[in-house]
Chains A and B, each alone.
Chain A
Amino acid sequence: MFNFITKKLKYGLRRAQESKVETADVKSNKEIEELPITGRLSADLELTRKVMGTSSDIKIHEFRYGTNSELKGALIFIDGLVNSDMLTQGILKPLILGKNLNSYQKESIAKTLDTVKQTILCSGDVTEKHLIGELVESVLSGDTAFLSEGFDKALIISTKGWDKRSISEPQTESVVRGPREGFTENFRTNTALLRRRIKSPNLRMDHLTIGEKTDTNVCVAYIEGVADPGIVETVKARLKSISADAILDTGYIEQYIEDHPFSMFPTIGYSEKPDVVTARILEGRVAIIADGSPFVLTAPMLFIESFQSSEDYYIRPFHASMIRILRYLAFFISISAPAIFIALTTFHQELIPTTLLFTIAAAREGTPFPTFLEAIILVFSFEILREAGIRLPRPVGQAISIVGALIMGEAAVSAGLVGAPMVIVVAITAVASFAVPEQTDSAAIMRIILLILASSFGGFGIAVGFLGILIHLASLKSFGIPYCSSLTFNHNMQDSFVRMPLWAMTKRPKGIANEDIIRNDMQIPPSPVYQPPSNE
């Protein structure tokens, strides 16, 4: 009998304990975020405090307002993320010193809230939120939340206003002629820069947030009716499938969504200049903007895009075409010059004109290393110099490059460690590799592969290496578009090896833009007619 009673009691006790545990569980952050706003101010603030912790930059300001200051309210915001002028002038001042709320108060609480929203708050962007989680999220992104006794919703007032870098000329893509604006780290500034250039209502900016911890704002910009809907959908689907905890730069996004992660060629383009991105959007590409990054991604990317500079379109076509052909040449030199030099000097001496051969032989006389080793040493020391030059503070960087390039190179030649021709070849390679900035990384890798092939198989090795690169290029695709489209002449050739005059570039690139292909209808050179001023 006693046994039975104690059992029952124990069972009861355990139940009680379990229920206690359950109520304790409710207080985990995740679950609080799912709770609705109750309308009891102290309780709501308590929950908010629990979620957001006791960080010093989170401010909860409680105050009284209304006709006789009988209403209790609270503002929640993050110091530093909000514009304090806006906070005092646009929210606090009208609330505390503002209108008579008496008559509305009596009617209903909902009515009061509407009045506050519609007639008191001086802000263009006020929304209502019902859950604690939503409230916290908006506060974290720089808005101010207004809670009041008796209201079961929070008013979220847009007060974003943190310190940001102003628009300045980008460091990476400097031009002689053309706009000098660059994107900044601020999301809204970047979208505004694009919107300001394309005043078409068809410019779409679809918004996403990526990153479990960072909740980064990401925007997919394209022109509806020009961009291929399939590509837009693919981009969005790939963006949505990212499950990373942080997106710190568009470089993260690029690596998560690119087609060929194991290729040395980039298959997604980027730019820091709004005019470049605008031009690409107008060609039917899709731009991806992320908060916190001044680099905007554009997809799909073609191989020849690396050889197009924005300035090509701002100067007249003849020089632009010449420069463009020069870039192709520079790219070829930058990947193959050391390899060709090695193949010639170690395998095919008969191909070098005799006088030149003597000069090279004289320069190489007494150098201790084989040509291949010489080339590898020089190529690597150039890469080291480049890396060091980028990371060092600017004044020191110059000193390093002078010491590294001039003194070390000169000393190495005069000490007889390396031959002067090899230094010249590597120097040309180095200079040429900067003519095509987007392919500098891939060129560095290809250069070394070709170097190894050339030193083991001579000219045949170079041919094999180049054919390998061609095969690899042909196999790449960027969002369904073959990467080397225009290179292989089965694409729109108006803007590839040479740039046609603008009036002759009638079509958008085929494949990228599938609708609204015609870019302009001129097709003939402009022929201005001189109209003499009438005398009347």
Chain B
Amino acid sequence: MKVENAKISATQFMFSIVIFIRSSSLLSAFFFSITKQDSWLIVLFGTVVCIPLLWVYVALAKQYPDKSLIQINDEVFGRIGGKIVSVFYIWFFFTLTTLNLRDLGGFVNKSIMILTPNTVIISIFIILCAWSVYYGLEVVTRYSIVFTIISTAILIVSILATFNIMNFENFLPIFHQPVNSYIHGTHIISTIPFGELVVFLMIAPNVEGKEKGLAKYFYGGFFIAALLILLVILRDTAVLGNMLEFLSLPSFEALRLATLFETISHIEILFAVLLILFLFFKISILFYTSILAVSHFFKIKSYRPLILPASALIVVYSITIFENVIMHTTISRGTAPFFWAFIEMILPFITLMVSYIKKAIKKAAGSSKEASAA
């Protein structure tokens, strides 16, 4: 059973990963308050920690090249066990979609449209994403390369524009935080942007030439994204210094301080543009994977009938999920990484191990059969 027949190129897949992770860097406030000026180290630690995690994902995708995550679960854990595991993933995908939508609504509400109710903004945006999801994977991932180029260009412009107000003493002292906070920060960054890549196991079967180079593109996208995030955090730390930990949107504030030729002063509008572009991309991918997962779960022939009910569900969920931004930040800093770690790290690892054991048992059984036959 194939719900989606579209094929996307490996480059598109890679840059989708870049945008997907990069969009989280816009809301990087979660760990700034924990690790302060050493946050850039956290990115490096997180990258190192996530390499084995990516290896698990790639190994799963290689083990079952034509199956999505939900179908892999069915294969590995059997019919009932698979469904139980899949429920976790589906809840996770929907929650991620919701959280990102809420982030967007919160940002727009706070900085652009102060008087408009959040519901209106969220509803408009989910309609947009639903429209793109309706056309399928090809359309959802089509602009990944363009968006990457735009975002990199804007990053370079913003670094140049803020260069005169950067203070490199802001990085000192290095390694001056308690060890706990490094572990805490690494945990956050490896679960909140990086580990979310588990979503791409839903898309991996539709990548062209996945037999040869899926691992290359998976890792490639991940490293490019990590590098971009590193640059963003270095810029923010250098510009903002101690102010960093008090702000909810550090990048936004960093750009607000930049001036070009006296007249062009408010280049934080670039940040707003980027945020809307990226979150559109990320929400579309998450929305797409959520309903694709549901359709694989119930073995429905097409995911399109699910778009409308799912949109409604996501809108309601994202309005009611938090009371305010503070709650969101607190939960993202404390509770969420533990839930996420279970779903992003432990579950795929267990799945991979079980599949290996099953394979080994089958092989042993096969060889013993052969031996008995002989």
Q: Is the CB of A474 within 8 A of B135?
A: yes
Q: Is the CB of A459 within 8 A of B112?
A: yes
Q: Which residue on chain A has the smallest CB distance to residue B149?
A: A489
Nearest-CB distance from B339 to chain A (Å)? 31
Q: Which listed residue, A460, A482, A490, touches B145 by the CB 8 Å rule?
A: A490
Interface 9-residue window, one of B48-56, B83-91, B121-129: B121-129
Q: Is the CB of A471 within 8 A of B131?
A: yes
> What per-residue 1/0 map shows which CB atoms of B273-286 lie under 8 Å from chain A?
10011001000000
Q: Is the CB of A464 within 8 A of B125?
A: yes
Q: Does A457 contact B (CB under 8 A)?
A: yes
**Chain B residues whose CB sits within 8 angstroms of the CB of A458 once the complex forms:** 112-113
**Chain A residues whose CB sits within 8 angstroms of the CB of B128 once the complex forms:** 464, 467-468, 471
**Chain B residues whose CB sits within 8 angstroms of the CB of A489 once the complex forms:** 145-146, 149
Interface 9-residue window, one of A116-124, A132-140, A345-353: A345-353
**Chain A residues whose CB sits within 8 angstroms of the CB of B149 once the complex forms:** 489
**Chain B residues whose CB sits within 8 angstroms of the CB of A471 once the complex forms:** 128, 131-132, 135, 139
> What per-residue 1/0 map shows which CB atoms of A333-368 lie under 8 Å from chain B?
000000000000001101101000000000000000
**Chain A residues whose CB sits within 8 angstroms of the CB of B269 once the complex forms:** 348, 351, 459
Q: Which listed residue, B11, B272, B277, B280, touches A490 by the CB 8 Å rule?
A: B11
Nearest-CB distance from A357 to chain B (Å)? 11
Nearest-CB distance from A5 to chain B (Å)? 75
Give the total number of A-B pairs whose CB atoms are below 8 A apart.
65
In angstroms, Cα B112 to Cα A488, docked, is: 29
The secondary structure that dominates the A interface is helix
**Chain A residues whose CB sits within 8 angstroms of the CB of B138 once the complex forms:** 474, 482
Q: Which residue on chain A has the smallest CB distance to residue B125?
A: A464
In angstroms, Cα B134 to Cα A474, docked, is: 12
> What per-residue 1/0 map shows which CB atoms of B260-271 lie under 8 Å from chain A?
000111100100
In angstroms, Cα B272 to Cα A348, docked, is: 12
Q: Is the CB of B264 within 8 A of A348?
A: no
Q: Does B108 contact A (CB under 8 A)?
A: yes
> What per-residue 1/0 map shows which CB atoms of A435-447 lie under 8 Å from chain B?
0000000000000
How many chain-B residues does the 8 Å CB contact rule pick out? 31
> What per-residue 1/0 map shows which CB atoms of B103-132 lie under 8 Å from chain A?
000001000110010000100110010011
In angstroms, Cα B9 to Cα A468, docked, is: 23
Q: Which residue on chain A has the smallest CB distance to residue B136?
A: A475
Query: Which parts of B163-222 form the interface with A (CB within 8 Å)?
Result: none
The secondary structure that dominates the B interface is helix
Contact (A351, B116) CB under 8 Å given A467-B280, A470-B143: no
Q: Does A403 contact B (CB under 8 A)?
A: no
In angstroms, Cα B139 to Cα A471, docked, is: 7
In angstroms, Cα B324 to Cα A247, docked, is: 63
Q: Which residue on chain B has the smallest CB distance to residue A468?
A: B128
**Chain B residues whose CB sits within 8 angstroms of the CB of A425 once the complex forms:** none
How many chain-A residues does the 8 Å CB contact rule pick out? 23
**Chain B residues whose CB sits within 8 angstroms of the CB of A464 once the complex forms:** 124-125, 128
Contact (A460, B142) CB under 8 Å given A490-B9, A490-B11: no
Nearest-CB distance from B150 to chain A (Å)? 11
**Chain A residues whose CB sits within 8 angstroms of the CB of B9 once the complex forms:** 490
In angstroms, Cα B272 to Cα A459, docked, is: 9
Q: Does B351 contact A (CB under 8 A)?
A: no
In angstroms, Cα B142 to Cα A115, docked, is: 68
In angstroms, Cα B128 to Cα A488, docked, is: 19
Q: Is the CB of A475 within 8 A of B139?
A: yes
Contact (A351, B142) CB under 8 Å given A463-B276, A471-B135, A490-B9: no
Nearest-CB distance from A369 to chain B (Å)? 23
Contact (A460, B266) CB under 8 Å given A475-B135, A489-B145: no
Nearest-CB distance from A86 to chain B (Å)? 57
Contact (A353, B264) CB under 8 Å given A474-B135, A490-B9: yes
Query: Which parts of A1-20 form the interface with B (CB within 8 Å)?
Result: none
**Chain B residues whose CB sits within 8 angstroms of the CB of A512 once the complex forms:** none
Q: Does A484 contact B (CB under 8 A)?
A: yes
Query: Which parts of A428-484 form the interface with B (CB within 8 Å)?
Result: 457-460, 463-464, 467-468, 470-471, 474-475, 482, 484
Nearest-CB distance from A456 to chain B (Å)? 10
Q: Which residue on chain A has the smallest CB distance to residue B15?
A: A489
Contact (A468, B121) CB under 8 Å given A353-B265, A484-B142, A488-B145: no
Q: Which listed residue, A459, A463, A474, touches B142 by the CB 8 Å rule?
A: A474
Nearest-CB distance from A425 to chain B (Å)? 18
**Chain B residues whose CB sits within 8 angstroms of the CB of A351 once the complex forms:** 266, 269
**Chain A residues whose CB sits within 8 angstroms of the CB of B131 once the complex forms:** 468, 471
In angstroms, Cα B108 to Cα A275, docked, is: 50
Q: Could you pull out 9 A-B pairs where Cβ atoms are within 8 angstroms?
A: A459-B112, A460-B121, A460-B124, A474-B135, A474-B139, A475-B139, A482-B138, A488-B142, A488-B145
Given contacts A353-B264, A460-B121, A474-B135, 10 further A-B contacts (CB under 8 A): A353-B265, A457-B124, A458-B112, A460-B113, A464-B128, A467-B277, A467-B280, A487-B146, A490-B9, A490-B11
Binding site for A on B (CB under 8 A): 9, 11-12, 108, 112-113, 116, 121, 124-125, 128, 131-132, 135, 138-139, 142-143, 145-146, 149, 263-266, 269, 272-273, 276-277, 280
